[in-house]
């Protein structure tokens, strides 16, 4: 009976992935600048404050999730994110823009790490932990397909009434909260919750120093590569404009990339067949290759396809990294903390990587700058990967 109840978590999680996003995202900037009369500088300030909030809260909220329980943390996170659209509705000004963005990402920091840890514990209780990447990949796929529909339709209501997209967004986020409320706690969670050992004690007692260094290098590779994926589309629209692509086509191009991501989600688990080190190399070469194609090909069709391949893979690649961490720490008391540390490396890298990207584009031009940026990141990531592999070999010999 309990197993069947836990199986329901998998179905509910698929639905949760559909409603947990900001379906009003495409109209936020337009709404704040037209209704709220914000300037571009104020929009930039909101983005900066939001980024700082994510960096500061990521690790503490992951630790809190491991201490008070993953479902409890998910409930708090879902509730906080559900409240965020109300600030846009009730306060269409600079303060409302800050609160709407900061509150959403603050809630997201509680669900980041805790969601994946909760689902891994569910699969562990069901004896399906080896299927983590497959099940989570498919859930991400369903979420993307549902989100494509919502993000395409909800912004259309802006012309009817400017606050209507935010009202619909509030309803969607409330649905995600109700879905989290319906989640059933896996039995393994009860054992973890009663454990009193601290995070640092667990690491010190269970891991040799070389293994810790290997995990740190894994997080660094993930952080730099993830930030590179995220920032690789920073000048995408400007590249399209430079190639003479009509603005009317931009939305279709982005939708095609999301559709590819939904398809990829069904097959992403096959990358788990690679050893972690080979997957890291694939991960690095994938984004570097795309940057080189964008910077050097000069063919509009190939460049458009390259940009579409970024979200096609980026939307689900995190699942493989999470699976690697869970395999190393299958019964850790601090899974959410570990994932939060990994995500923190992403946020920290996102601070300096855009500056490097902006420098290369300004110095070498918007096209060639992409290729130079890719080569710079390759020069940074390859030594880290080589060091990781050397540490792994020494760890294997010593054990």
* pLDDT tens digit sequence for 290-328: 999 999 998 999 999 999 999 899 988 999 998 988 887
CB 319 within 8 A of CB 222: no
The answer on pLDDT for 150 being more than 80 is: yes
The pTM (predicted TM-score) of the whole model is: 0.80
Residue-level pLDDT at 6: 81
Give 334's DSSP letter: -
CB 114 within 8 A of CB 202: no
Chain centroid to Cα 364, Å, comes to 30
Residue-level pLDDT at 372: 95
CB 223 within 8 A of CB 342: yes
Residue range(s) in the chain whose domain bears CATH number 1.20.1250.20: 2-193, 201-398
Q: What is the mean pLDDT of the chain?
A: 85
Residue-level pLDDT at 395: 58
Distances (CA, A) of 37 to 26, 94, 159, 399: 17, 8, 17, 63
Residue-level pLDDT at 87: 95
CATH architecture designation of domain 2-193: Up-down Bundle (1.20)
Predicted confidence (pLDDT) per residue in 64-89, tens digit: 888 888 889 999 999 999 999 999 99
CATH number of 201-398: 1.20.1250.20
The answer on pLDDT for 190 being more than 50 is: no
The answer to whether the Cα torsion of 195, 199, 204, 207 is positive or negative is positive
Please give the Cα distance from 62 to 102 (Å, whole number).
Answer: 17
| Terminal-to-terminal C-alpha distance of the chain | 42
């Amino acid at each position: 009976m309990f197993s069947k109840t836990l199986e329901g978590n998998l179905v509910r999680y698929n639905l949760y992935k559909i409603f947990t996003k900001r379906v009003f995202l495409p109209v936020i900037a337009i709404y704040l600048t037209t209704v709220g009369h914000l300037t571009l500088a104020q929009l930039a300030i909101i983005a900066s404050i939001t980024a700082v909030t994510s960096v500061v809260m990521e690790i503490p909220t992951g630790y809190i999730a491991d201490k008070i329980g993953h479902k409890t943390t998910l409930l708090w996170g879902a509730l906080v994110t559900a409240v965020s659209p109300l600030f846009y509705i009730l306060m269409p000004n600079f303060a409302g823009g800050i609160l709407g963005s900061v509150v959403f990402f603050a809630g997201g920091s509680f669900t980041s790490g805790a969601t994946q840890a909760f689902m891994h514990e569910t699969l562990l209780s069901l004896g399906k932990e080896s299927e983590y990447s497959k099940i989570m990949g498919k859930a991400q796929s369903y979420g993307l397909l549902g989100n494509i529909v919502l993000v395409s339709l909800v912004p259309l209501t802006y012309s009817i009434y400017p606050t209507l997209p935010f009202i619909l967004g509030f309803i969607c986020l409330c649905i995600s909260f109700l879905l989290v409320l319906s989640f059933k706690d896996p039995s393994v969670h009860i054992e973890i919750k009663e454990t009193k050992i601290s995070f640092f004690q667990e690491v010190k007692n269970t891991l040799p120093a070389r293994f810790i260094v290997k995990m740190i290098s894994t997080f660094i590779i993930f952080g730099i590569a993830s930030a590179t994926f995220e920032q690789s589309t920073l000048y995408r629209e400007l590249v399209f404009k430079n190639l003479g692509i009509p603005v009317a086509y931009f939305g279709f191009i982005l939708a095609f990339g999301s559709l590819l991501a939904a398809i990829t989600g069904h097959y992403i688990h096959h990358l788990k067949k690679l050893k972690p080190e080979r997957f890291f190399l694939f991960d690095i070469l994938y984004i570097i290759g795309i940057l080189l194609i964008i910077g050097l090909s000069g063919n509009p069709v190939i460049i458009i396809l390259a940009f579409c391949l970024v979200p096609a893979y980026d939307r689900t690649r995190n699942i493989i990294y999470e699976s690697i961490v869970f395999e190393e720490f299958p019964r850790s008391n601090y899974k959410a903390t570990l994932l939060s540390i990994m995500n923190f490396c992403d946020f920290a890298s996102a601070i300096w990587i855009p500056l490097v990207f902006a420098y290369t584009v300004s110095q070498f031009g918007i096209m060639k700058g992409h290729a130079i940026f890719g080569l710079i990141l390759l020069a940074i990531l390859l030594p880290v990967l080589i060091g990781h592999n050397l540490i792994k070999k020494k760890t294997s010999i010593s054990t």
